[in-house]
Amino acid sequence: MKILKQFLIFNIVFFIIGGVASSEDLFQSLISTYINNKELNSQREKAKAVNEELIQSYAILKPSITGTFSQSDYLNEGQKNQSGSSIADSNLQTKKKAIKVEQKILQGIPNILASKTNVKISSNELKFVEQNVLLKAVTAYTSVLASKKRLDITRDNLDLADKQVELDKSRYERGAIKLSDLAQSESSLADAKAKFIRSENSFAVSEKDYENIIGYLPKNLETIKNLDLNLPKSLEETLELASLNNPELLISKLNFEKSNYLLKGAAEKFAPKASVSFEVSENEDVSSNISERDQSQFEAKVEIPLYSGGKNYSFYQQKKALKISAELDYQDKQNETRKNATNVWSEYQLKKSELNLAKAQLQAAEIAYEGIVQEYESGTRDTLDVLNSRSLLLIARLNFIDVERDEIISRFKLLQVTGNLTSLHLKLETKQINPKTNWIRHIF
């Protein structure tokens, strides 16, 4: 008996520990999303590609080294000397080995600066995608929790409706209620079944959404409690953070900066281009008189563009128009960001108020339902009163679930608009993934 008791205790403890260990909280789901989400990983690869463009643009500042090896065969036929006498045919083979070093001088600087700006743009584009993906993960997580609660509530409602029908059948047989009362209970049962089926479908859909975004089906998700996100305390703080950190605004600002560099790069086409080169070569059988020769050549070259058919001027005008367009886009994005930040802050305040009202509504509905059930059991209330009260309670419960989810999502939307919905700000316990792994190569 003692052994059996110990065995039961062990199994209970194992079950509890195992249950806790297998559960997952919101931040664990966000870590999985940050590491595994395909959309986010795809954007990281794009950021790496942009970094490679910067490395390529730096190449113009470095010398190019070219090695050459050539071999030629010459066959001289029908040769005659000055007196008109024929000369025997001859065959000459030449070989050349050469190394040439060439350096362009002060070319491509605006394009390098544009490429550096492109890296910053790419970084903010990655941040933009990261924020969107993490918000999708939060929405998926909270939707699974809400769908599960909705499923449990509609199941309880179905059980109550079923018991109500059984109770009313018994009371009808005793003549305590009318047939219409029983019919109302049966109608309520049918409605409860429909709501339960819809909740089942909604739960299945939310699980699939979770899997698509986070990478696996949800299992034992923990309720979100004590969520400390270090949110802005006022609209003014929200607007200030958005103006400094919002990735969409920063992308627009950087695009304007890049357009300036591209315009300077277009103007560079009108400027002279200078380069120097040095070549060392080894030649064999250069002529019939010289069999070998080592040669070195230094060259300084300046190219001055005189006329290009209007191409360079047209290119300059194109970049000038794009610069003006980028500046207007940036001004428009500033206004749009302020508007979005204001709307998101207002929505957050609204959701907090709605949550408090939903709590009060739920508490009132629970008290009312308990009182009406007691009055029904004492005979002072009829079936319709109970059904109406239970319907109001169900509405209050489902509404509270939706409002609670929306309030949580509104917090993360506030983080998003201020540019802080990132793994770094959320302090996710995972290694930060930085696409600039090959940046050091630009030195070489």
Position 252 pLDDT exceeds 60? yes
In the chain, what are the domains? 24-62+107-272+311-443 (1.20.1600.10)
DSSP letters, 199-243, are HHHHHHHHHHHHHHHHSS---SBPPP-S------SSHHHHHHHHH
408: which residues sit within 8 A by CB, 6+ positions away?
138, 142, 224, 227
Bigger pLDDT: 292 vs 237: 237
CA–CA separation, 132 vs 39, rounded Å? 10
- How buried is 138 (Cβ within 10 angstroms: 0-12 exposed, 13-18 middle, 19+ buried)? buried
φ/ψ (deg, to 5) at 342: -65, -45
Mean pLDDT of 104-119: 92
Confidence tier at 436 by pLDDT (50, 70, 90): low
Mean pLDDT of 165-174: 84
Buried b (16+ CB within 10 A) or exposed e, 289-306: eeeeeeeeeeeeeeeeee
Confidence tier at 386 by pLDDT (50, 70, 90): confident
| pLDDT of res. 148 | 96
Closest of 240, 242, 237, 234 to residue 349, by C-alpha: 234
| pLDDT of res. 15 | 35
Pairing of strands 90-105, 273-284: antiparallel
If DSSP codes are grouped into helix, strand and coil, which group holds residue 406?
helix
CA–CA separation, 32 vs 295, rounded Å? 64
Find residue 297's DSSP bridge partners: 279
Is 260 in contact with 323 (CB distance < 8 Å)? Answer: yes
Is 261 in contact with 113 (CB distance < 8 Å)? Answer: yes
Mean pLDDT of 239-247: 97
Pairing of strands 79-80, 273-284: unpaired
Mean pLDDT of 240-248: 97
Is 153 in contact with 394 (CB distance < 8 Å)? Answer: yes
| pLDDT of res. 175 | 80
Convert the pLDDT of each residue in 187-230 to its tens digit. 989 999 999 999 999 999 999 999 999 999 999 999 998 888 99
For all residues of the chain together, what is the average pLDDT?
88
| pLDDT of res. 11 | 41
Closest of 270, 265, 264 to residue 307, by C-alpha: 270
Q: Give the Cβ contact number of residue 5 at 10 Å.
A: 9
Convert the pLDDT of each residue in 28-53 to its tens digit. 999 999 999 999 999 999 999 999 99
| pLDDT of res. 210 | 96
**Out of 62-76, 132-146, 302-316, 418-432, least confident range:** 62-76
Find residue 275's DSSP bridge partners: 104, 301
User: What does the block give as tokens for 220?
Assistant: 């034992």
| pLDDT of res. 115 | 93
**Out of 168-182, 238-252, 290-304, 387-401, least confident range:** 168-182
User: What does the block give as tokens for 338?
Assistant: 């302020």
How much is the pTM?
A: 0.84
Residue 151 amino acid letter? L
Rg (CA), the chain: 39
Bigger pLDDT: 177 vs 428: 428
Position 277 pLDDT exceeds 70? yes
| pLDDT of res. 290 | 66
φ/ψ (deg, to 5) at 242: -65, -40
Helices (H) and strands (E) in the chain, counts: 10, 6
| pLDDT of res. 22 | 66
Residue 180 amino acid letter? S
Residue 140 amino acid letter? A
Is 399 in contact with 393 (CB distance < 8 Å)? Answer: no
Confidence tier at 286 by pLDDT (50, 70, 90): low
Convert the pLDDT of each residue in 391-418 to its tens digit. 899 999 999 999 999 999 999 999 999 9
265: which residues sit within 8 A by CB, 6+ positions away?
108, 110, 111, 114, 319
Quickly list H helices, 84-108.
none
Q: How many residues does the chain have?
A: 444
